[in-house]
């Protein structure tokens, strides 16, 4: 075992203390005990432990990676959004300006798109919640055998691992469209007399596809929180004579709120920031904030694209903040 470089109490003493401490720690983890005041004390005590270096060493590669490929790029987006466009090779000059934002604030196309995208996201969040909840409820509370539960959950989750783009193409060409399977079926059933034109390359198609593509991000957290709902509380509510609806509102829903919140954040963020799906299913007719940013970057006009992206992030952060008001995630995690 690597020993510490800092001054330590006598060796035998230390090992005993460590052993006791680690057992306690393991027990706390196993029993899912919430961290208590002793945690603060533990911090001080363990700060001088040789393990501190190992911990840092273990965490460093990951955080260096995240710093370089995630945090630095986000910082650069903000920087570039305050710089001036240039036709030179780089695409921007390091001359500070707020013109990019000033132009954006007067750009009604941008804000209309922001509004439409926001509407799409709200519809997606609502629809995924309403359509996904029964699925998660069925899997978590109605399927009795654990093996069956796992199998059905994986069957429902499998499309998540496949390409969103392929699923978007599969959605667009064979299924939707004026000659798509959906229209053909509707005509065969005499529900409509002419093909519904709104199915192809339209906002309606994009919104339906969003539900289809992203609903698994809602079902997964819902499933995991529903599976942890205290069964005896459900039994108790029933024994006490509450009807199903009251039991749902007062027992199940409060315990499921973290799942609802996490799923809603996922879907809100993913649909607001979506580019590939809108582009493929909209067939170039439909725009979102994502496609606007992409088209500006393609020009290339990096500073205005970056400013558009920064405003999107601000809207995203606001939305996420509103959603997190519904549950205290920090305590749940």
Partner 1 sequence: MTAAAPAMERTQDVVVRRKVKQRRDWAKWGLGGYFVLFLIFLYIPIILMAILSFQGSYGQLTFPFRGPVSLDWWKTLFDSNVPNTVSDDVSASGRQSLWLSLVAGGIVAVLGFSLSMAFRRRWRFKSDVVAFYVIMLALMTPAFLVGLGNQLLWKFMGKTPNLWETALGANVVWGIPFSFLVMLAVWNRYDRHIEEAARDLGANAATTFREVTLPLVWTGIFGSFLFGFTLTWNDFDRTILLQNGYEAQPLPILIGTWPSSRPILPNLYALGAGTTAVTLLLLLLALVVVTVRLRFRSTPQQQAAEELGEAVGLGGAGGLAERAK
**Burial classification of residue 139, based on how many CB atoms lie within 10 Å of its CB (0-12 exposed, 13-18 middle, 19 or more buried):** buried
Which of 16, 56, 98, 112 binds partner 1 (CB under 8 A)? It is 56
Alpha-helix runs per DSSP H in the chain: 11-30, 38-47, 51-66, 72-81, 99-105, 108-137, 146-161, 164-170, 181-188, 203-227, 231-239, 244-247, 253-272, 276-282, 289-298, 302-324, 329-332
The two structure tokens encoding residue 251: 């027992």
CA distance 171 to 208: 10
Number of residues that bind partner 1 (CB under 8 A): 104
**In the complex with partner 1, which residue's Cβ is closer, 177 or 258?**
177
Q: What residues numbered 3-42 form the site for partner 1, per CB under 8 A?
A: 19, 22-23, 25-26, 28-30, 32, 35, 39-40, 42
Q: Please, which of residues 99-128 interact with partner 1 by CB under 8 A?
A: none
316 binds partner 1 (CB under 8 A): yes
Q: 132 to 171, contacts with partner 1 by CB under 8 A?
A: 134-135, 137-139, 142, 152, 154-156, 158-159, 161-167, 169-171
Site string for partner 1, 237-276 (x = CB under 8 A): -xx----x--------------------xx--xx-xxxxx
How many other C-beta atoms are found inside a 10 Å radius of the C-beta of residue 282? 20
Rank residues 177 and 203 by Cβ distance to partner 1 and give the closer one: 177
Here's the x/- map for partner 1, 72-91, by CB under 8 A: it reads as xxx-xx-xx---------xx
| Distance of closest approach, residue 235 Cβ to partner 1, in angstroms | 9
């Amino acid at each position: 075992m690597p020993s510490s470089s800092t001054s330590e109490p006598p060796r035998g003493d230390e090992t005993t203390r460590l052993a006791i401490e680690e057992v306690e720690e393991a027990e706390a983890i196993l029993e899912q005990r919430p961290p208590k005041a002793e945690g603060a004390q533990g911090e001080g005590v363990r700060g001088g432990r040789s393990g501190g270096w190992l911990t840092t060493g273990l965490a460093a590669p990951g955080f260096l990676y995240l710093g370089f490929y995630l945090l630095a790029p986000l910082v650069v987006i903000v920087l570039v959004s305050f710089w001036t466009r240039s036709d030179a090779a780089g695409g921007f000059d390091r001359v500070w300006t707020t013109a990019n934002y000033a132009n954006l604030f007067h750009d009604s196309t941008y804000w209309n798109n922001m509004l439409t995208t926001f509407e799409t996201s709200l519809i997606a969040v609502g629809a995924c919640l309403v359509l996904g909840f029964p699925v998660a409820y069925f899997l978590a509370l109605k399927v009795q055998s654990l093996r069956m539960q796992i199998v059905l959950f994986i069957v429902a989750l499998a499309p998540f691992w496949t390409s969103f783009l392929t699923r978007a193409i599969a959605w667009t060409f064979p299924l939707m469209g004026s000659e798509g399977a959906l229209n053909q079926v509707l005509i065969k059933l005499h529900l409509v007399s002419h093909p519904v034109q709104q199915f192809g390359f339209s906002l309606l198609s994009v919104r339906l596809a969003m539900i289809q593509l992203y609903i698994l991000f809602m079902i997964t957290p819902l499933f995991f929180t529903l599976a942890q709902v205290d069964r005896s509380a459900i039994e108790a509510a029933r024994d006490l004579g509450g009807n199903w609806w009251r039991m749902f509102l007062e027992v199940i829903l409060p315990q499921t709120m973290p799942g609802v919140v996490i799923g809603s954040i996922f879907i809100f963020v993913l649909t607001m920031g979506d580019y590939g799906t809108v582009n493929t299913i909209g067939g170039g007719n439909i725009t979102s904030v994502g496609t606007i940013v992409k088209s500006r970057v393609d020009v290339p006009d990096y500073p205005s694209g970056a400013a558009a992206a920064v405003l999107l992030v601000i809207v995203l952060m606001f939305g996420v903040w509103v959603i997190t008001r519904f549950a205290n995630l920090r305590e749940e995690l």
